[in-house]
Structure 1
């Protein structure tokens, strides 16, 4: 049995099958709602229900700490009746935008003791269309996929660069150190709605934890390419200094924006006496260096716990508007099948 789901204030409506999430039904119908993890963790897909009833998929919770009382997680709920929903935003998906490629390993470099920078080349004459901040799904080989953000800017469209942390026992990450030049990998892209509002000139704060730096690097390289000028703060967290594994990229942005780019390395397990270092977690560094966020935009990428701590601090104590918090949560484990989520 299916139910009809309509978006309030529009002529958009689509069917949602039994035991299918509202988010997946929208994506299959060619409508993209805000989302990131699709596992009920990040809260990006939270939106309102103007009319009708929903239930949790397989008994899952339809809310988390990021939801207001009026919101539910579209990725974790299924209709129990016909619905009218009130998403924060929505847009039609370009049917030709998402594509599958068999990419070839071009370079595999160890950037830190537990992080590989994996560069992939697309087949000759093919290009990947994506927005800075989006991610791809990579086929692991057992029928599941893993999600990795593109670290390169969109203008480098014949290649894909991924920052991959080595997770012990990881279905793919544990294999990464053994990948050789010429090895083939099946990928699909783009996914994700955490992208930059290029029309805004407001101050922007980026907060990254570990390899959460990858999508932020893509955004900043894209801003540099397009010569976008706005006040920028980058807070990058790691346990120790060697975890800040691409200082050369930071140095490039410091040269690009000498008067408007500020960098802080937040080191949770190490004290460093340096102008750009902070001893503590990223949320503590954010409070120390950005005590007033009203009128700013904040992009946060990292683990669920880190993103939650930054979100809570920014919204409850530092004056950031909820609509100006954008998060990409890195969650271990398989991604949902792309076939379940995209237009046929």
Structure 2
């Protein structure tokens, strides 16, 4: 199919943007600095729905969980799954919250190295053909061989210097997971993939100088490590205290401490603690329970005075939100990206 641009007009405004028929409306809008609401970016959450007033679109993933039969009846579509077949007029409610700090771009990345972090989490490094600037805590979409659709993975590194040509992703091997299987078993060093980013709103708020709490579980390690690295590297955040809590199933799942120990002020302003839900008879000197319980026992009502970031499995995220709500934490100071 030859690439062709179509004009997408926002109903009731004088705003429009061009979207190629090999791109989707959501990401094309963000590339054009239009604050199109979204969360997961892969068809699961439904937060990027728009109403199609005129024109025609195709759905990349007709079975996407975030797209219902009622949506189809009402001509509502998912921005992250819709490619234009013609010029379109759509209705959305732009929100400055979603305005990109760095406009996302599509680049080619070459796998240059991989290393184990734990028994089931590995770090994959890609060198990019073009610069991609991003904020600590953001993610990108990878197009992987043999995998339909794209997979969202958070960067664990930060942009250093004037060039941003390296992305590190810490990925957990998921049984029967096509994305992780492609990374762990199909890709070889030197292979190229498509990378689209950056995305996500759970990035480091550099203008906020209150103490920071990072909560991570599983491969949610990556964005939280990126945020810790971002704090340590920013002279304007000198003096900000950061507590990093990691939750794992068993002691062999616990990770991240070595990466934090390499940062300035570890043990002074930067602290690491971990919890495991089941020590399983292994020797374990840390907290036994869940990471949200550890946060509550360590900080209690002091949570209201902290900027809080978290990433991990959905059940962990739900438990953290419930705990923070019980302590009266304002959700304006809580940051996470919604993945499924």
- The TM-score range, normalised by the shorter chain, is 0.7 to 0.9
Runs of 5+ consecutive residues of structure 1 not aligned to the other structure: 16-20, 47-55, 62-73, 332-344
Give the drift of 1:329: 3.5
CA contact (8 A) 1:233 1:261 kept: yes
CA contact (8 A) 2:37 2:94 kept: no
TM-aligned CA distance change 1:39 to 1:120, over 3 Å: closer
SS of residue in 1 equivalent to 2:113 = strand
> Which whole-Å CA distance do the structure 1 matches of 2:122 and 2:99 have between them?
34
Equivalent of 2:218, from 199, 210, 220? 210
Is residue 255 of structure 2 the alignment partner of residue 245 of structure 1? yes
Deviations 1:106-143 (A, max 9, x none): 111122221111111224xx322111111111112354
> Which whole-Å CA distance do the structure 2 matches of 1:93 and 1:198 have between them?
12
Give the drift of 1:252: 2.4
Aligned Cα root-mean-square deviation (Å): 3.8
**Match of 1:336?**
none
> Which whole-Å CA distance do the structure 2 matches of 1:214 and 1:30 have between them?
26
**Match of 1:109?**
115
SS of residue in 2 equivalent to 1:196 = coil
Give the drift of 1:88: 7.1
Aligned residues: 296
Give the drift of 1:172: 2.4
> Which whole-Å CA distance do the structure 1 matches of 2:35 and 2:165 have between them?
25
Is residue 39 of structure 2 the alignment partner of residue 36 of structure 1? yes
**Match of 1:144?**
149
TM-aligned CA distance change 1:82 to 1:173, over 3 Å: closer
Equivalent of 2:304, from 294, 300, 317? 294
Instruction: Return the structure number with greater helix share.
Output: 2
> Which whole-Å CA distance do the structure 2 matches of 1:208 and 1:153 have between them?
17
Is residue 268 of structure 2 the alignment partner of residue 265 of structure 1? no
Runs of 5+ consecutive residues of structure 2 not aligned to the other structure: 1-7, 18-23, 49-65, 72-77, 81-88
> Which whole-Å CA distance do the structure 1 matches of 2:188 and 2:199 have between them?
26
Is residue 161 of structure 2 the alignment partner of residue 158 of structure 1? no
> Which whole-Å CA distance do the structure 2 matches of 1:129 and 1:42 have between them?
26
